[in-house]
Amino acid sequence: MSLVVRDNLPVLIVVALLSSAYVMPLLTKIRRFRFAEFFAVFMIALALSGGIYLGQGILNHGSFTYAVGGWAAPWGIELSLDAVSGFFLITIGLVATPIMLYASYDLVAEVGSRSRAAWFLTLFLLLVAALCGLAITGDIFNIYVMVEVATIASCAIVSARNDSASVAATFKYLMLATIGSGFVLLGIGFLFVLTGNLNLNYIGQTLRLTWQNYPTALWVALSFFTVGFGVKSALFPLHVWLPDAHSTAISPSSAILSSLAIKGYIIALLKIFYVGVGAQIIWELPITAILTLLGMGAIVAGALFALAQDELKRRLAFSTVSQVGYIFLGIGLGNIHGLTGSFMHILSHALTKALLFLAAGAMIKRTGKTRISEMAGIGFKMPVTLGVFAIGSLSMIGIPLFSGFVSKWQLLLGALAKGNYLAVLVLVAGSLLAAAYLLPVLRTALFVRPTPTPAKDEAPSVQLVAMVFLAALVLVVGVFPHQVLQLAQKAAATLLRWGVL
Amino acid sequence: MSIAFVIAAILSTALGSLAVALLSREEKGLRNGVVVGSALLGMILVWHLGFAIPSGVYPEISLAIASLSLKLAVDPLGLTYGLIASTLWVFASVYSIGYLHGDDKQKQYFTFFLLSAGITLGLAFSGNLFTFYLFYELLTFATYPLVVHSGTKDALQAGTKYIKYSLVGASFILAGIVMLAFGTGGILDFASLPTALAGLPLGRLVVIFFLFLLGFGVKAAIMPLHGWLPAAMVAPTPVSALLHAVAVVNAGVFGILRTVYSVFGADLVQSMGVRPFLLLICSITILMGSLIALRQDVLKRRLAYSTISQLAYILLGAFLLHPLALAGAILHMIFHSTLKIVLFFSAGIVAEETGYLKVSELSGVGRVLPLTMGSFGLISLGMIGMLPLSGFWSKYYLLRGSLVTGSWPLLVVLLVSGILNAFYFIPITVSAFSGQSELLPRKRTRLVWLMLAPTLVLAILGVVLGLWPGLTWPLVHAVVNQFFIL
């Protein structure tokens, strides 16, 4: 039995999450709601342990492929389990588990009714399943399916509360995301016509021999992917949907959307670019230069927009636009340090932004204040929440000992290796801007003291556990990054070597 | 095994900070005990390391982190900074207990007060640039709550200014470090850096050097990067005394000393041809600082500008790249810290006892507070550079250093600044003792003796070091030996 589980672990992770997603509404009918919530937490934690197991295996024994249903590639769907998948699976598990735990405290009250809450659980699990699918799939059409599942689930999660603001935001999101999907599908169509394959490895092999016959067509395909995934992962200037969607959703939704959902599309983009098309071809085309420029634009513009916001969650949402820029900048740099930096930033930003959104949610819930300028003295009321918020802020700024520094350092090295001093400047300026938009929150909350001093009124302990868990991870990754950094390096090497092969 | 002492010294203060944070707000006695106890323990441990100097064997330890290694190491230069900071921290902790008596935010204050001590010691014993940068950055965040302690609008504004200056400075340092690491293939150890840099193109080295100078120059308050320091005078006086005359500003100076001597090495800095420019900047800062100090009426601001000027003396000694001048710089780092803290302590006592903050109000105060103003007057002679106070000796070595290297214009700068010092210090003492005052000796509500005792002890120390400057010689000699083959 255990052997069967182990051998089929990759597909089981996705299948288990998908099936438990559909069981949720039923489960809430026959059992207590709390049971369903904890079942969801349990399933995600199970996926996490599966991811860690796979990641360890990949780190020790190298990558492998898994043919779904025993149908070998190129006919069947192939899952390719490499360091990229291992890294992203672990990221998903580490972040989604505490978010679900946090959400479980008052989900029904947050979304309005029991049945909506049940659907929220379903959607949440669907989203996690789709992200896991994106992490492990090696098939371009499979990518499209997972992207669609993730998109629909994220849109629905935004409107979980069903108030006018979030529904309007959802509509905006849905429109743009659908346009993005259209572009992705067009790109997939191009690649299929060019190569006759849907399997990424086979596409890569074919393109390597033939791409010079039709560089323009390939260039168009890559542009479609860039725009399509760019919209979905909120690459500046295609980010317009994100601030509304992420700031109007309930806090656990904001957390998972900002920290994980958009990263899934980036992983898909990475797979198509580096596995499907290959590093050498990518470098011949101007696409990396464009991604570098867009990344740098995103870092600066996102941070400037964030500075202009007074509403805490909107500020955090714009911060995501800025931080996604770091990831795209790393992809654009395209060397080992740059890609390692991108992977580390996918993890680091996921942990940090989830932490910040959850802490912000707890503050807003307790005080009813959504604007930073009104938050004077919240630190005296909720010291632990503000403490973890401070940890998240320092990590976002990129102070050593916090996870954000690890990725920033790699990106800086990548920029220098490329001789791109402008990128060095932007990276350094980006963290200063992050300080400029995050530290005022701490200053107002911790050092402006209202009279009388508010009494302690901390967030509920389940939510505190979730936040402290994330904060601890931020510190652990920051202080002992060795293992994850190795995995990230291996993921970057995988992408680059496949290109060279 | 003596590296254990380094770790123990850092931990004793850091854990002290944690203990204060965990103690309840009401347990004042226990808290005060923890504060003084852990500061004292830290000091004893650092002094114990100090006695390792004659043996010339220095311990080190490394830990891998972030693909960069975290390394603690003891060397004479680091010991100098560590000894100054850890010793004065004990005095400042006693003074703080007296000063903050009755304040309702003592818990927050002492938590960060001890945390800053731990970070400062970490900075002192950093064995490579990355570790140095780490503690330098953390120091900014740990000291911010102390600067904004009062929570008033002014304090918050000053704090924001401080954070802005420091973070921008630290970004320059980070950019420099990453360029250095990229050039040397990841070598950031102070012990092996000067040789590792030998092959790099000179142009890039100059860029890196100026990145470091800009970064550390913020905390060292080189003009025009000094703007945060006078603003930060809104902080409680023990904070101004300890951080803005000793720990934080010396962290900047220490960073520049490290840059010149441990990162690049005197020979490389010499061959980069930046020396005249550096000396010019220092001279301007020395003179401008003194001139501006002359026009300040608020006593603490006058002291702040005096600090800006005096820190540039240390840098001047460092940039002369000569053993005698370096000896002068190290001596001045020790003596300026021990003297300036007394001036701040006295100013704090005056402000708390009389409510007077301005120089123009101080007339006659010496009759009410003879010991306080007496220490102030005595120690200000040391700042001017008069015997029998320690300040004379450091200036003497700086003068000798500039003569030996043939930079006689600096002689003029130092002498003119000395005269300016006299102009802005002596009238304070004179009017304090000669003028008329409506003040009557008051009933002392605060624990004023807790503030007075450290002031007096340090004032006596200033005289002792002035009469027997040889007490500091083993340390200074070791530092000079470390960087110059004599």
Q: Does residue A138 form part of some domain? A: no
pLDDT value of position A346 = 93
**Residue A443 lies in domain:** 286-501
The mean pLDDT of B199-226, rounded to a whole number, is: 88
Q: Cis omega (within 30 of 0) on the bond before A237? A: yes
In a domain, A214, yes or no: no
In a domain, A99, yes or no: no
Q: Domain for residue B189, yes or no?
A: yes
Q: Residue A142: is its pLDDT beyond 90?
A: no
Query: Which residues from chain A sit within 8 angstroms of residue B178, using beta carbons?
Result: 409, 412-413, 416, 424
Q: Number of folded domains in chain B?
A: 1
Q: Mean pLDDT over all residues of chain B? A: 84
- Compute the nearest-CA separation of A375 from chain B (Å): 15
SS3 A150: helix
The predicted pLDDT at position B441 comes to 58
Please tell me if residue A448 touches chain B, with a CB cutoff of 8 Å: yes
CB half-sphere exposure, B315, CA atoms < 13 A: 35
B411 inside domain = yes
**Cβ–Cβ < 8 Å for B110, B157:** no
| Rg from Cα positions in chain B | 21
The per-residue pLDDT for A500 is 40
Are A248 and A203 a contacting pair, CB within 8 Å? no
pLDDT in tens, B402-441: 888 887 888 888 888 888 888 888 888 888 888 776 666 5
Return the closest-CA partner of residue B144 out of B132, B155, B154, B134: B155
Work out how many domains chain A is built from and give that number.
1
Q: A429 contacts in B (CB within 8 Å)?
A: 171
The pLDDT-based confidence of A320 (bands split at 50, 70, 90) is very high
SS3 at position A110? helix
Sign of CA dihedral B342, B347, B348, B350: positive
Distance in Å, alpha carbon of A479 to nearest chain B alpha carbon: 6
pLDDT at B439: 64
DSSP string, B265-310: -HHHHHHHT-HHHHHHHHHHHHHHHHHHHHT--BHHHHHHHHHHHH
Please identify among residues 370-429 of chain A the ones whose CB lies closer than 8 Å to any CB of chain B: 394, 397, 399-401, 405-406, 409-410, 412-413, 416-417, 424-425, 428-429
pLDDT digits (tens, 9 = 90+) for A364-386: 888 888 888 888 888 888 888 88
CB A176 within 8 A of CB A241: yes
The reported pLDDT for the residue numbered A278 is: 81
Look at chain B and count its residues: 486
Q: At B60, is the pLDDT very low, low, confident or very high (cuts 50, 70, 90)?
A: low
Residue B323 lies in a domain: yes
pLDDT at A499 over 50: no
B2 CB burial (10 A radius; 0-12, 13-18, 19+)? middle
Q: Of A124-133, A272-281, A348-357, B61-70, where does mean pLDDT reach its minimum?
A: B61-70
Contact B147, B158 (CB under 8 A): yes
C-alpha span between B118 and B6 (Å, rounded): 10
* Strand partners for B126: B72
Overall average pLDDT of the A125-148 stretch: 89
- pLDDT score of A391: 92
Which amino acid is located at A11 in the chain?
Answer: V
pLDDT band at B58 (very low <50, low <70, confident <90, very high): low
pLDDT recorded at residue A113: 82
Q: What sign does the CA torsion over A360, A263, A78, A56 have?
A: negative
Residues of chain A neighbouring B218 (CB-CB closer than 8 A): none
CA distances from B166 to A249, A500, B174 (A): 36, 44, 12
Q: CA-nearest residue of chain A to B67?
A: A482
Choice between B252 and B484, residue whose per-residue pLDDT is larger: B252
Distance from CA of A432 to the nearest CA of B (A): 7
SS (H, E, C) A170-233: HHHHHHHHHHHHHHHHHHHHHHHHHHCCCEHHHHHHHHHHHHHHCHHHHHHHHHHHHHHHHHHC
Residues A267, A133 contacting (CB under 8 angstroms) = no
Categorize the per-residue pLDDT at B65 as very low, low, confident or very high, splitting at 50, 70 and 90: low
Q: Cα(A232)–Cα(B197) distance, rounded to whole angstroms?
A: 46
CA gap A15, A19 in Å, rounded: 6
ipTM: 0.83
Is A158 within 8 Å of A110 (Cβ atoms)?
A: no
Residues B157 and B142: beta-carbon distance below 8 Å: no
Pairing of strands A78-81, B60-65: unpaired
Lowest mean pLDDT, pick from A127-136, A428-437, A453-462, B248-257: A453-462
Of A443-452, B66-75, B322-331, least confident by mean pLDDT is B66-75
The whole-number average pLDDT for the span A37-49 is: 85
Domain extent at residue B360: 128-483
Residue-wise pLDDT tens digits, A420-468: 889 899 999 999 999 999 888 888 888 877 777 777 778 888 888 999 9
On whether residue A13 sits in a domain, the answer given is: no
Whether residue A144 lies inside any domain: the answer is: no
Q: Are B425 and B343 in contact (CB under 8 A)?
A: no
| Spatial contact of A423 and A329, defined as CB atoms under 8 Å apart | yes
Chain A residue closest in CA terms to B137: A399
Q: Which stretch of A73-87, A145-159, B52-66 has the lowest confidence by average pLDDT? A: B52-66
* Tokens coding B475: 């340390």
Segment 282-301 of chain B within 8 Å of chain A by CB: none
The residue type found at A6 is R
- Which range among A337-351, B96-110, B166-180 shows the weakest confidence by mean pLDDT? B96-110
pLDDT of residue B184: 82
In a domain, A79, yes or no: no
Residues 58-117, chain B, touching A (beta carbon < 8 A) = 64-68
Mean pLDDT to the nearest integer, A400-422: 88
Which residues in chain A have Cβ-Cβ distances shorter than 8 Å to B158?
A: none
Q: Is residue B65 part of a domain?
A: no
The pLDDT of residue B445 is 57
Residue A501's pLDDT band, with cuts at 50, 70 and 90, is very low
Q: Does A352 touch chain B (CB under 8 A)?
A: no
